[in-house]
Amino acid sequence: MTLLLKNRGAVLILMFNLFLVFSGIGLVIPIMPKFMESLGITGGTVGLLVAAFSLTQLLFSPLAGRLSDTFGRKRMIVFGMLLFALSEGLFGYASSSWLLFVARLLGGISAAMIMPAVMAYAADVTTAEERAAGMGYINAAITTGFIIGPGIGGYIAEFGIRVPFYFAAIAGVLAACINLLILPESRPAAVAASAPAGAAKPRANLLTQLRYAYREPYFLSLIIVFVLSFGLANFETVFGLFVDHRFGFEPKDIAFIITFGSIAGAVVQLTAFSWILKRFGESRVISVCLLFAGVFILLTLFVHKFWIIFAVTFIVFLAIDILRPAIGTQMSMVAEDQQGYVAGLNSAFTSLGNIVGPIVAGFLFDVDINYPYALAFLVLFICFILSLKAGRQEQGAQVR
Protein backbone atom coordinates (compact mmCIF):
# COMPACT_ATOMS: atom_id res chain seq x y z
CA MET A 1 0.00 0.00 0.00
CA THR A 2 2.86 2.36 0.85
CA LEU A 3 4.48 1.77 -2.55
CA LEU A 4 1.19 2.32 -4.32
CA LEU A 5 0.63 5.59 -2.54
CA LYS A 6 4.17 6.67 -3.35
CA ASN A 7 3.67 5.87 -7.01
CA ARG A 8 0.42 7.80 -7.11
CA GLY A 9 2.16 10.77 -5.54
CA ALA A 10 4.89 10.60 -8.18
CA VAL A 11 2.33 10.54 -10.97
CA LEU A 12 0.61 13.58 -9.44
CA ILE A 13 3.91 15.47 -9.31
CA LEU A 14 4.63 14.51 -12.90
CA MET A 15 1.16 15.65 -13.94
CA PHE A 16 1.70 19.01 -12.26
CA ASN A 17 5.02 19.55 -14.01
CA LEU A 18 3.59 18.57 -17.39
CA PHE A 19 0.70 20.92 -16.75
CA LEU A 20 3.13 23.81 -16.26
CA VAL A 21 5.15 23.02 -19.37
CA PHE A 22 2.20 22.47 -21.68
CA SER A 23 0.51 25.57 -20.31
CA GLY A 24 3.63 27.31 -21.52
CA ILE A 25 3.29 25.71 -24.94
CA GLY A 26 -0.45 26.34 -25.13
CA LEU A 27 -0.32 30.01 -24.21
CA VAL A 28 1.60 30.91 -27.38
CA ILE A 29 -0.90 29.22 -29.75
CA PRO A 30 -3.52 32.00 -30.13
CA ILE A 31 -0.96 34.71 -30.79
CA MET A 32 1.09 32.84 -33.41
CA PRO A 33 -0.84 34.23 -36.44
CA LYS A 34 -0.26 37.84 -35.31
CA PHE A 35 3.34 37.07 -34.32
CA MET A 36 4.10 35.57 -37.72
CA GLU A 37 2.31 38.44 -39.46
CA SER A 38 4.48 40.95 -37.62
CA LEU A 39 7.57 39.20 -39.01
CA GLY A 40 6.14 38.82 -42.53
CA ILE A 41 6.24 35.00 -42.47
CA THR A 42 4.12 32.92 -44.87
CA GLY A 43 2.20 29.72 -44.20
CA GLY A 44 4.99 27.75 -45.87
CA THR A 45 7.52 29.13 -43.38
CA VAL A 46 5.20 28.31 -40.49
CA GLY A 47 5.07 24.73 -41.73
CA LEU A 48 8.86 24.59 -41.96
CA LEU A 49 9.18 25.92 -38.41
CA VAL A 50 6.87 23.20 -37.10
CA ALA A 51 8.78 20.62 -39.14
CA ALA A 52 12.10 21.86 -37.72
CA PHE A 53 10.82 21.15 -34.22
CA SER A 54 9.70 17.68 -35.25
CA LEU A 55 12.94 16.93 -37.11
CA THR A 56 15.12 17.23 -34.03
CA GLN A 57 12.47 15.42 -31.99
CA LEU A 58 12.67 12.57 -34.50
CA LEU A 59 16.47 12.43 -34.46
CA PHE A 60 16.79 12.49 -30.68
CA SER A 61 13.71 10.55 -29.49
CA PRO A 62 15.03 6.96 -29.83
CA LEU A 63 18.33 7.97 -28.22
CA ALA A 64 16.52 9.82 -25.44
CA GLY A 65 14.23 6.84 -24.84
CA ARG A 66 17.19 4.50 -24.44
CA LEU A 67 19.05 7.01 -22.25
CA SER A 68 16.02 7.15 -19.97
CA ASP A 69 16.24 3.36 -19.68
CA THR A 70 19.95 3.62 -18.80
CA PHE A 71 20.30 6.75 -16.69
CA GLY A 72 16.80 7.18 -15.30
CA ARG A 73 13.71 9.14 -16.24
CA LYS A 74 14.19 12.09 -13.88
CA ARG A 75 17.43 13.37 -15.41
CA MET A 76 15.96 13.38 -18.90
CA ILE A 77 12.85 15.23 -17.75
CA VAL A 78 14.79 17.91 -15.86
CA PHE A 79 17.26 18.61 -18.67
CA GLY A 80 14.46 18.54 -21.22
CA MET A 81 12.43 21.12 -19.33
CA LEU A 82 15.39 23.47 -18.98
CA LEU A 83 16.01 23.21 -22.70
CA PHE A 84 12.33 23.86 -23.35
CA ALA A 85 12.57 27.07 -21.31
CA LEU A 86 15.60 28.19 -23.32
CA SER A 87 13.88 27.51 -26.63
CA GLU A 88 10.73 29.45 -25.69
CA GLY A 89 12.70 32.43 -24.41
CA LEU A 90 14.81 32.48 -27.56
CA PHE A 91 11.73 32.29 -29.79
CA GLY A 92 10.21 35.28 -28.01
CA TYR A 93 13.44 37.23 -28.34
CA ALA A 94 14.04 36.39 -32.02
CA SER A 95 13.53 39.04 -34.69
CA SER A 96 14.93 37.03 -37.61
CA SER A 97 13.92 33.75 -39.23
CA TRP A 98 17.18 31.94 -38.49
CA LEU A 99 16.82 32.55 -34.74
CA LEU A 100 13.24 31.24 -34.91
CA PHE A 101 14.53 28.06 -36.52
CA VAL A 102 17.28 27.67 -33.90
CA ALA A 103 14.67 28.03 -31.16
CA ARG A 104 12.40 25.44 -32.77
CA LEU A 105 15.27 22.98 -33.24
CA LEU A 106 16.12 23.28 -29.54
CA GLY A 107 12.46 22.86 -28.68
CA GLY A 108 12.37 19.60 -30.61
CA ILE A 109 15.31 18.24 -28.64
CA SER A 110 13.57 19.17 -25.39
CA ALA A 111 10.41 17.34 -26.45
CA ALA A 112 12.47 14.28 -27.36
CA MET A 113 13.97 14.27 -23.89
CA ILE A 114 10.71 14.85 -22.02
CA MET A 115 7.98 12.77 -23.65
CA PRO A 116 9.58 9.28 -23.88
CA ALA A 117 10.81 9.65 -20.30
CA VAL A 118 7.36 10.72 -19.09
CA MET A 119 5.54 7.86 -20.82
CA ALA A 120 8.13 5.37 -19.59
CA TYR A 121 7.84 6.82 -16.08
CA ALA A 122 4.08 6.26 -16.13
CA ALA A 123 4.63 2.66 -17.24
CA ASP A 124 7.24 2.14 -14.48
CA VAL A 125 4.90 3.12 -11.65
CA THR A 126 1.69 1.46 -12.82
CA THR A 127 0.64 -2.15 -13.11
CA ALA A 128 -0.83 -3.58 -16.30
CA GLU A 129 -4.31 -3.05 -14.83
CA GLU A 130 -3.51 0.57 -13.92
CA ARG A 131 -1.73 1.38 -17.20
CA ALA A 132 -4.71 2.88 -19.03
CA ALA A 133 -5.58 5.05 -16.02
CA GLY A 134 -1.95 6.17 -15.68
CA MET A 135 -1.69 7.11 -19.35
CA GLY A 136 -5.03 8.88 -19.06
CA TYR A 137 -3.80 10.96 -16.11
CA ILE A 138 -0.58 11.92 -17.90
CA ASN A 139 -2.39 12.95 -21.07
CA ALA A 140 -5.02 14.77 -18.99
CA ALA A 141 -2.26 16.93 -17.51
CA ILE A 142 -1.05 17.75 -21.03
CA THR A 143 -4.58 18.49 -22.22
CA THR A 144 -5.36 20.64 -19.20
CA GLY A 145 -2.19 22.63 -19.84
CA PHE A 146 -3.41 23.29 -23.36
CA ILE A 147 -6.81 24.26 -21.97
CA ILE A 148 -5.42 26.80 -19.52
CA GLY A 149 -2.51 27.96 -21.68
CA PRO A 150 -4.34 29.53 -24.66
CA GLY A 151 -6.68 31.42 -22.36
CA ILE A 152 -3.69 32.86 -20.51
CA GLY A 153 -1.88 33.56 -23.78
CA GLY A 154 -4.82 35.37 -25.31
CA TYR A 155 -4.99 37.62 -22.26
CA ILE A 156 -1.31 38.41 -21.65
CA ALA A 157 -0.76 39.06 -25.36
CA GLU A 158 -2.49 42.37 -24.63
CA PHE A 159 0.75 43.37 -22.87
CA GLY A 160 2.88 42.50 -25.91
CA ILE A 161 2.98 39.92 -28.66
CA ARG A 162 6.21 38.41 -27.28
CA VAL A 163 5.24 38.29 -23.61
CA PRO A 164 3.57 34.83 -23.80
CA PHE A 165 6.85 33.26 -24.94
CA TYR A 166 8.65 34.64 -21.89
CA PHE A 167 5.89 33.27 -19.66
CA ALA A 168 6.42 29.87 -21.30
CA ALA A 169 10.13 30.05 -20.49
CA ILE A 170 9.39 30.84 -16.85
CA ALA A 171 6.97 27.90 -16.67
CA GLY A 172 9.67 25.58 -18.02
CA VAL A 173 12.24 26.68 -15.43
CA LEU A 174 9.69 26.32 -12.61
CA ALA A 175 8.76 22.83 -13.79
CA ALA A 176 12.42 21.78 -13.98
CA CYS A 177 13.02 22.96 -10.40
CA ILE A 178 10.00 21.07 -9.07
CA ASN A 179 11.13 17.90 -10.85
CA LEU A 180 14.67 18.23 -9.54
CA LEU A 181 13.66 18.83 -5.93
CA ILE A 182 10.55 16.68 -5.49
CA LEU A 183 10.06 14.05 -8.20
CA PRO A 184 11.47 10.62 -7.22
CA GLU A 185 13.31 8.51 -9.78
CA SER A 186 11.25 5.60 -11.11
CA ARG A 187 14.16 3.76 -12.70
CA PRO A 188 17.54 4.47 -11.05
CA ALA A 189 20.67 3.91 -13.10
CA ALA A 190 21.68 1.05 -10.79
CA VAL A 191 18.46 -0.78 -11.58
CA ALA A 192 18.95 -0.31 -15.30
CA ALA A 193 22.53 -1.56 -15.07
CA SER A 194 21.41 -4.74 -13.31
CA ALA A 195 18.82 -5.58 -15.99
CA PRO A 196 19.41 -8.79 -17.95
CA ALA A 197 21.69 -8.41 -20.93
CA GLY A 198 19.07 -9.77 -23.26
CA ALA A 199 16.71 -6.98 -22.35
CA ALA A 200 18.61 -4.43 -24.40
CA LYS A 201 17.56 -3.86 -27.97
CA PRO A 202 20.43 -4.29 -30.45
CA ARG A 203 19.85 -1.00 -32.27
CA ALA A 204 22.92 1.01 -33.29
CA ASN A 205 21.26 4.24 -34.40
CA LEU A 206 18.02 5.86 -35.41
CA LEU A 207 18.08 4.61 -39.00
CA THR A 208 18.72 1.06 -37.83
CA GLN A 209 15.89 1.28 -35.32
CA LEU A 210 13.47 2.56 -37.96
CA ARG A 211 14.69 0.00 -40.49
CA TYR A 212 14.01 -2.94 -38.20
CA ALA A 213 10.85 -1.57 -36.62
CA TYR A 214 8.80 -3.75 -38.99
CA ARG A 215 9.89 -6.80 -36.98
CA GLU A 216 8.23 -5.55 -33.83
CA PRO A 217 4.74 -6.79 -32.84
CA TYR A 218 3.56 -3.18 -32.60
CA PHE A 219 4.77 -2.13 -36.08
CA LEU A 220 1.28 -1.54 -37.47
CA SER A 221 0.58 0.67 -34.45
CA LEU A 222 3.69 2.67 -35.36
CA ILE A 223 2.38 3.10 -38.91
CA ILE A 224 -0.92 4.32 -37.50
CA VAL A 225 0.98 6.75 -35.28
CA PHE A 226 2.81 8.13 -38.32
CA VAL A 227 -0.28 8.52 -40.51
CA LEU A 228 -2.26 9.96 -37.59
CA SER A 229 0.43 12.52 -36.85
CA PHE A 230 0.63 13.51 -40.51
CA GLY A 231 -3.12 14.08 -40.71
CA LEU A 232 -3.44 15.91 -37.41
CA ALA A 233 -0.47 18.13 -38.27
CA ASN A 234 -2.40 19.39 -41.29
CA PHE A 235 -5.20 20.42 -38.91
CA GLU A 236 -3.19 21.79 -36.01
CA THR A 237 -0.41 23.59 -37.90
CA VAL A 238 -2.72 25.93 -39.80
CA PHE A 239 -5.67 26.12 -37.39
CA GLY A 240 -4.80 29.57 -36.07
CA LEU A 241 -3.93 30.82 -39.56
CA PHE A 242 -7.10 29.29 -41.01
CA VAL A 243 -9.55 30.97 -38.63
CA ASP A 244 -7.53 34.18 -38.73
CA HIS A 245 -7.63 34.42 -42.53
CA ARG A 246 -11.13 33.02 -43.12
CA PHE A 247 -13.05 34.51 -40.20
CA GLY A 248 -10.78 37.29 -38.95
CA PHE A 249 -10.49 35.77 -35.46
CA GLU A 250 -8.40 37.61 -32.89
CA PRO A 251 -6.07 35.87 -30.40
CA LYS A 252 -8.83 35.89 -27.75
CA ASP A 253 -11.26 34.19 -30.18
CA ILE A 254 -8.73 31.46 -30.99
CA ALA A 255 -7.96 31.04 -27.30
CA PHE A 256 -11.67 30.60 -26.53
CA ILE A 257 -12.15 27.87 -29.15
CA ILE A 258 -9.03 25.93 -28.17
CA THR A 259 -9.67 26.27 -24.44
CA PHE A 260 -13.24 25.04 -24.34
CA GLY A 261 -12.71 22.67 -27.23
CA SER A 262 -10.18 20.77 -25.09
CA ILE A 263 -12.12 20.67 -21.81
CA ALA A 264 -14.09 17.55 -22.74
CA GLY A 265 -10.89 15.69 -23.55
CA ALA A 266 -9.39 16.42 -20.14
CA VAL A 267 -12.59 15.40 -18.35
CA VAL A 268 -12.78 12.13 -20.28
CA GLN A 269 -9.12 11.32 -19.65
CA LEU A 270 -9.45 11.90 -15.91
CA THR A 271 -12.79 10.17 -15.39
CA ALA A 272 -13.83 7.76 -18.13
CA PHE A 273 -10.79 6.94 -20.27
CA SER A 274 -9.84 3.77 -18.40
CA TRP A 275 -13.46 2.53 -18.47
CA ILE A 276 -13.77 3.26 -22.19
CA LEU A 277 -10.68 1.19 -23.02
CA LYS A 278 -11.76 -1.70 -20.80
CA ARG A 279 -15.29 -1.66 -22.20
CA PHE A 280 -14.51 -1.35 -25.91
CA GLY A 281 -10.81 -2.19 -26.24
CA GLU A 282 -7.95 -0.07 -27.58
CA SER A 283 -8.42 -1.08 -31.24
CA ARG A 284 -12.10 -0.18 -31.43
CA VAL A 285 -11.62 3.12 -29.59
CA ILE A 286 -8.77 4.10 -31.91
CA SER A 287 -10.80 3.30 -35.04
CA VAL A 288 -13.87 5.25 -33.93
CA CYS A 289 -11.85 8.30 -32.88
CA LEU A 290 -9.95 8.31 -36.18
CA LEU A 291 -13.21 8.32 -38.12
CA PHE A 292 -14.75 11.10 -36.03
CA ALA A 293 -11.58 13.25 -36.19
CA GLY A 294 -11.39 12.96 -39.97
CA VAL A 295 -15.07 13.62 -40.65
CA PHE A 296 -15.31 16.65 -38.36
CA ILE A 297 -12.10 18.15 -39.75
CA LEU A 298 -13.75 17.94 -43.18
CA LEU A 299 -16.88 19.61 -41.78
CA THR A 300 -14.76 22.59 -40.75
CA LEU A 301 -14.67 23.59 -44.42
CA PHE A 302 -18.46 23.93 -44.59
CA VAL A 303 -19.29 25.88 -41.42
CA HIS A 304 -19.44 29.63 -41.05
CA LYS A 305 -21.05 30.63 -37.75
CA PHE A 306 -18.87 30.94 -34.67
CA TRP A 307 -20.83 28.53 -32.47
CA ILE A 308 -20.84 25.84 -35.20
CA ILE A 309 -17.08 26.25 -35.66
CA PHE A 310 -16.75 25.86 -31.91
CA ALA A 311 -18.91 22.68 -31.87
CA VAL A 312 -17.07 21.03 -34.76
CA THR A 313 -13.66 21.85 -33.29
CA PHE A 314 -14.86 20.56 -29.92
CA ILE A 315 -15.49 17.09 -31.42
CA VAL A 316 -12.13 17.08 -33.21
CA PHE A 317 -10.24 17.91 -30.01
CA LEU A 318 -12.19 15.30 -28.05
CA ALA A 319 -11.33 12.59 -30.58
CA ILE A 320 -7.66 13.61 -30.59
CA ASP A 321 -7.48 13.68 -26.79
CA ILE A 322 -8.79 10.11 -26.60
CA LEU A 323 -6.71 8.86 -29.53
CA ARG A 324 -3.27 9.74 -28.24
CA PRO A 325 -3.40 7.98 -24.85
CA ALA A 326 -5.24 5.02 -26.41
CA ILE A 327 -2.41 4.41 -28.87
CA GLY A 328 0.18 4.93 -26.14
CA THR A 329 -1.60 2.42 -23.90
CA GLN A 330 -1.87 -0.12 -26.73
CA MET A 331 1.86 0.04 -27.43
CA SER A 332 2.93 0.01 -23.78
CA MET A 333 1.06 -3.25 -23.20
CA VAL A 334 3.41 -5.08 -25.58
CA ALA A 335 6.59 -3.20 -24.63
CA GLU A 336 7.36 -5.38 -21.57
CA ASP A 337 10.71 -4.20 -20.08
CA GLN A 338 11.55 -1.80 -22.94
CA GLN A 339 9.13 0.98 -22.07
CA GLY A 340 11.61 3.77 -22.73
CA TYR A 341 12.71 2.25 -26.05
CA VAL A 342 9.15 1.76 -27.29
CA ALA A 343 8.11 5.21 -26.09
CA GLY A 344 11.09 6.61 -28.03
CA LEU A 345 10.03 4.82 -31.21
CA ASN A 346 6.48 6.08 -30.69
CA SER A 347 7.79 9.62 -30.40
CA ALA A 348 10.03 9.10 -33.45
CA PHE A 349 7.19 7.97 -35.70
CA THR A 350 5.07 10.84 -34.36
CA SER A 351 7.84 13.26 -35.26
CA LEU A 352 8.19 11.72 -38.73
CA GLY A 353 4.54 12.49 -39.39
CA ASN A 354 4.95 15.92 -37.85
CA ILE A 355 7.83 16.71 -40.20
CA VAL A 356 6.02 15.92 -43.43
CA GLY A 357 2.54 17.07 -42.34
CA PRO A 358 3.32 20.70 -41.40
CA ILE A 359 5.47 21.29 -44.50
CA VAL A 360 2.70 20.03 -46.76
CA ALA A 361 0.03 21.92 -44.79
CA GLY A 362 1.95 25.20 -44.83
CA PHE A 363 2.56 25.23 -48.56
CA LEU A 364 -0.95 23.99 -49.34
CA PHE A 365 -2.28 26.84 -47.18
CA ASP A 366 -0.45 29.35 -49.38
CA VAL A 367 -2.16 27.81 -52.42
CA ASP A 368 -5.66 27.52 -50.91
CA ILE A 369 -6.58 27.73 -47.23
CA ASN A 370 -9.01 24.80 -47.60
CA TYR A 371 -6.50 22.30 -48.99
CA PRO A 372 -4.77 21.34 -45.70
CA TYR A 373 -8.06 20.27 -44.09
CA ALA A 374 -9.17 18.30 -47.15
CA LEU A 375 -5.86 16.43 -47.06
CA ALA A 376 -6.16 15.90 -43.29
CA PHE A 377 -9.52 14.19 -43.79
CA LEU A 378 -8.12 11.94 -46.51
CA VAL A 379 -5.10 10.91 -44.46
CA LEU A 380 -7.10 10.25 -41.29
CA PHE A 381 -9.58 8.16 -43.26
CA ILE A 382 -6.69 6.04 -44.57
CA CYS A 383 -5.50 5.72 -40.98
CA PHE A 384 -9.01 4.57 -40.02
CA ILE A 385 -8.80 1.79 -42.64
CA LEU A 386 -5.39 0.74 -41.30
CA SER A 387 -6.76 0.61 -37.77
CA LEU A 388 -9.56 -1.73 -38.87
CA LYS A 389 -6.94 -4.02 -40.38
CA ALA A 390 -4.92 -3.92 -37.17
CA GLY A 391 -8.05 -4.81 -35.18
CA ARG A 392 -8.73 -7.84 -37.38
CA GLN A 393 -5.13 -9.01 -36.97
CA GLU A 394 -5.44 -8.68 -33.20
CA GLN A 395 -8.68 -10.68 -33.15
CA GLY A 396 -7.08 -13.38 -35.35
CA ALA A 397 -4.13 -13.65 -32.98
CA GLN A 398 -6.48 -14.06 -30.01
CA VAL A 399 -8.42 -16.83 -31.81
CA ARG A 400 -5.23 -18.72 -32.58
Q: What are phi and psi of 41, to 5 degrees?
A: -100, 135
Cβ atoms 87, 106 nearer than 8 A: yes
* pLDDT tens digit sequence for 202-211: 444 566 666 6
Query: What is the spatial distance between Cα 288 and Cα 283, in angstroms, rounded to a whole number?
Result: 9
* pLDDT tens digit sequence for 299-353: 988 887 778 888 888 888 788 878 877 877 777 776 666 666 777 677 678 778 8
275, pLDDT greater than 60: yes
**Mean pLDDT, residues 93-121:** 85
**Mean pLDDT, residues 97-104:** 88
Higher model confidence: residue 351 or residue 356? Answer: 356
pLDDT recorded at residue 196: 47
Q: Which of the residue ranges 34-43, 121-130, 177-186 has the most confident prediction, judged by mean pLDDT?
A: 177-186
Residue 206 to residues 52, 199, 308, Cα–Cα distance (Å): 17, 18, 44
Handedness of CA 108, 113, 114, 119 (dihedral sign): positive
**Mean pLDDT, residues 255-260:** 73
Higher model confidence: residue 246 or residue 390? Answer: 246
5, pLDDT greater than 50: no
Determine the length of the chain: 400
Chain-wide mean pLDDT for the chain?
76
pLDDT recorded at residue 86: 95
Model-wide pTM > 0.95 = no
pLDDT recorded at residue 190: 43
pLDDT-based confidence at residue 66 (cuts at 50, 70, 90): confident
Cβ atoms 349, 129 nearer than 8 A: no
- SS3 for the chain is CHHHHHHHHHHHHHHHHHHHHHHHHHCCCCCHHHHHHHHCCCHHHHHHHHHHHHHHHHHHHHHHHHHHHHHCHHHHHHHHHHHHHHHHHHHHHCCCHHHHHHHHHHHHHHHHHHHHHHHHHHHHCCCCCCHHHHHHHHHHHHHHHHHHHHHHHHHHHHHCCCHHHHHHHHHHHHHHHHHHHHCCCCCCHHHHHCCCHHHCCCCCCHHHHHHCHHHCCCHHHHHHHHHHHHHHHHHHHCHHHHHHHHHCCCHHHHHHHHHHHHHHHHHHHHHCHHHHHHHHCHHHHHHHHHHHHHHHHHHHHHCCCHHHHHHHHHHHHHHHHHHHHHHHHHHHCCCCCCHHHHHHHHHHHHHHHHHHHHHHHHHHHHHCCCHHHHHHHHHHHHHHHHHHHHHHHHHHHHHC
**Mean pLDDT, residues 49-75:** 80
Query: What is the spatial distance between Cα 281 and Cα 258, in angstroms, rounded to a whole number?
Result: 28
**Mean pLDDT, residues 53-71:** 79
* First-last CA distance in the chain: 38
89, pLDDT greater than 90: yes
* pLDDT tens digit sequence for 138-162: 777 776 776 677 777 777 877 888 8
pLDDT recorded at residue 246: 80
Higher model confidence: residue 192 or residue 377? Answer: 377
* pLDDT tens digit sequence for 215-231: 666 677 777 778 777 77
Query: What is the spatial distance between Cα 151 and Cα 36, in angstroms, rounded to a whole number?
Result: 19
Query: What is the spatial distance between Cα 209 and Cα 121, in angstroms, rounded to a whole number?
Result: 22
* pLDDT tens digit sequence for 287-308: 898 899 889 989 988 887 778 8
199, pLDDT greater than 60: no
Cβ atoms 294, 376 nearer than 8 A: yes
> What percent of the chain stands above pLDDT 90?
4
**Mean pLDDT, residues 41-52:** 80
- Among 104-108, 323-327, 331-335, 376-380, where is mean pLDDT lowest? 331-335
Query: What is the spatial distance between Cα 18 and Cα 114, in angstroms, rounded to a whole number?
Result: 9
Neighbours of 126 (CB within 10 A): 21
Cβ atoms 258, 307 nearer than 8 A: no
134, pLDDT greater than 70: yes
